[in-house]
């Protein structure tokens, strides 16, 4: 290869990888949103953390709010997937146990996603699409409680109430795991899952 060839290669423009750039922006924004908070995180900070110019953000998102909502919807879909996959399990208690364990595994892989879905106060930041997906997410959990009521293993009353009770207890464990307060010891997690079931079940021995 000649010096001319080398100069030609070095002068050639680098190929952009828009998807990789967007992924870096999403990762950087997620970490900042869940550590500094939404309002304290700025687009210059996000761009700098991702190693791109601030203007690059606007090739992928219309602004910070759009970016936040896309990230939130993606995170919620990740945590909703086990809800949908668990439809093949008919035993309500087992279904909830598997669901909690899947959520704990997801939390171990990415604590920022877990914090965004279960801990961070996001209600005032959500657009209509994100709110609808959040409603769908909740509806899947309510349907599990409703099936448990039909089978006589979940307490009488509103399936929505029991879904909220179970979710709040499991979210507590997710928060502890995401924050590093609870690490590899699964004993704590098991206790929370058992307590969550006892809170909603007709008979905790079932």
pLDDT digits (tens, 9 = 90+) for 77-118: 999 988 777 677 889 999 999 999 999 999 999 999 999 999
Contacts of 85 (CB under 8 A, 6+ apart): none
Q: At 161, is the secondary structure helix, strand, or coil?
A: helix
Which is it for the CA torsion 177, 134, 81, 65, positive or negative?
Answer: negative
Q: How far apart are CA 166 and CA 82, in angstroms?
A: 16
Strand partners for 154 = 201
Please say if the pLDDT value at position 5 is more than 70: no
User: Bigger pLDDT: 85 or 6?
Assistant: 85
Which tops the pLDDT comparison, 17 or 7? 17
Tens digits of residue pLDDT in 35-49:
999 999 999 999 999
- pLDDT bin (cut points 50, 70, 90) of residue 205 is very low
Phi then psi dihedrals of residue 134, to 5 deg: -65, -40
Percentage of the residues of the chain whose pLDDT score is greater than 90: 77
pTM as predicted:
0.85
């Amino acid at each position: 290869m000649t010096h001319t060839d080398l100069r030609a290669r070095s002068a050639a423009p680098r190929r952009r990888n828009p998807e990789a750039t967007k992924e870096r922006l999403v990762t950087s924004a997620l970490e900042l949103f869940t550590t500094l908070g939404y309002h304290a995180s700025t687009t210059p900070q996000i761009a700098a953390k991702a190693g791109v110019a601030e203007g690059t953000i606007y090739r992928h998102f219309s602004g910070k709010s759009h970016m936040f909502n896309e990230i939130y919807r993606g995170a919620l879909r990740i945590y909703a997937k086990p809800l949908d996959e668990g439809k093949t399990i008919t035993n309500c208690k087992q279904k909830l146990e598997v669901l909690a364990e899947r959520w704990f595994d997801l939390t171990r892989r990415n604590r920022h996603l877990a914090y965004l879905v279960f801990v961070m106060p996001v209600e005032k930041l959500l657009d209509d699409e994100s709110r609808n997906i959040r409603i769908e997410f909740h509806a899947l959990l309510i349907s599990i409680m409703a099936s448990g009521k039909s089978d006589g293993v979940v307490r009488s009353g509103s399936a929505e109430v029991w879904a909220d009770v179970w979710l709040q207890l499991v979210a507590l464990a997710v928060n502890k795991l995401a924050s590093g307060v609870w690490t590899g010891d699964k004993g704590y997690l098991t206790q929370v899952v058992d307590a969550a079931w006892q809170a909603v079940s007709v008979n905790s021995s079932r």
